[in-house]
Amino acid sequence: MSRHTTFRYCLDPTVEQQQALARHADAARFAFNKSLDFVKTALTQRETDPDQQVPWTGFSLIDAFNTWKETEAAGRVIAVDPAGVAEIEVTGLAWRDEVCQQAFEEAAVDCGRALTAFSDSRTGNRKGKKVGFPRFTKKNSTTPAFRLRNRTSKAGRAAIRVGDNGIPRSVTLPRNRDDPGTGGHSSSAAHARQRARQNPVRHSVVPSGSLAAQCDRRGHRPSPGFAAPTACGRR
């Protein structure tokens, strides 16, 4: 049997880490809006073409975004060779490697969940208040946030780790080309380790599941609402 406990931390990142976290939050908002744009465009095309497929689930939206981000529609430049001949070079989404790709994927999943909630609400499969069709998120009216999954390597090493490398007041995030790296936080992870030692159930404080972060728009500092990875234990 597994027991899951969620711990919340307020990060205290360096300036470079603040910028990296802010880029991830912006990337998540961009991917959500682009995923919703795919849906609206497909719905419009379906009015004249009944066979038009509409991406509606998280998986289909991830596939649509991953395909789009490498196309000319996502980005291109005009390159001029030494002879003065100009050619169009397809770059795709040029900055896609500056953030962890999971930020894009989890945002697409969020869009899919919003669409499912809308359709379930319309068909009566969802109880409670009626849910409207998803809306585009605006930078200045939403809390900057993103989510990453915690994958485990073949060697059993988690991508998201609390108190790694002998640094108890730290959270290590997955690497990417412009790595946010290890960020300090204002509350020690010792509480999580102490609970693991005191509980008769054997715990592993290696995070599992996913990590969700919220950033302060004013200074891009993660707010006290930062949700740390979940510590999972097994009997």
Lookup: tokens for 140: 């200045």
Mean pLDDT of the chain: 77
With bands split at pLDDT 50, 70 and 90, how would you rate the model's confidence at 172? confident
Amino acid at 55: P
Q: What is the mean pLDDT of the segment spanning 33-37?
A: 96
User: What tens digit of pLDDT does each residue of 64-76 get?
Assistant: 999 999 999 999 8
Alpha helices by DSSP H, listed for the chain, are: 15-46, 58-68, 101-123, 190-198
The 10 Å CB-count burial string (b at 16+, else e) for 144-166 is bbbbbbbeeeeeeebbbbbbbee
* pLDDT for res 149: 83
pLDDT on residue 41 = 96
> Encoding tokens for residue 109?
């999943």
Nearest alpha-carbon partner for 196 in 207, 187, 182: 207
| Structural domain boundaries in the chain | 2-234
Question: What residues contact 5, with CB distance under 8 A and at least 6 apart?
Answer: 192, 195, 230, 231, 233
* Range with the poorest average pLDDT among 66-75, 156-165, 213-222: 213-222
Least confident residue range of 20-29, 81-90, 128-137: 81-90
Contacts of 89 (CB under 8 A, 6+ apart): 76, 77, 78, 79
- Average of pLDDT values for 166-180? 65
**pLDDT attached to residue 209:** 55
* pLDDT tops 70 at residue 153: yes
Per-residue pLDDT at 18: 86
| CB contact at 8 A, 11 and 221 | yes
Determine the pLDDT at residue 171.
Answer: 76
Q: Where are the alpha helices (DSSP H) in 11-162?
A: 15-46, 58-68, 101-123
In this prediction, residue 143 has a pLDDT band, given cuts at 50, 70 and 90, of confident
- Average pLDDT score over residue span 186-211: 46
Q: Encode pLDDT of 106-132 as tens digits.
A: 999 999 999 999 999 988 888 888 999
On the question of pLDDT at 192 being above 60, the answer is no
pLDDT, position 216: 60
What is the mean pLDDT of the segment spanning 30-42? 96
Sorted by sequence, the CB contacts under 8 Å of residue 160 that are 6+ apart come out as: 148, 150, 171, 172, 173, 174, 207, 211, 229
Contact of 46 with 121, CB cutoff 8 Å: no
Q: Is the dihedral of CA 210, 215, 221, 227 positive or negative?
A: negative
Interior angle at CA 26, CA 25 and CA 30, nearest 5: 120
Under the banding of pLDDT at 50, 70 and 90, the label for residue 208 is: very low
Band of residue 189 on the pLDDT scale cut at 50, 70, 90: very low
Q: List C-alpha distances in Å: 196 to 167, 169, 187, 202.
A: 18, 17, 17, 7
Residue range 21-32, pLDDT digits in tens: 899 999 999 999
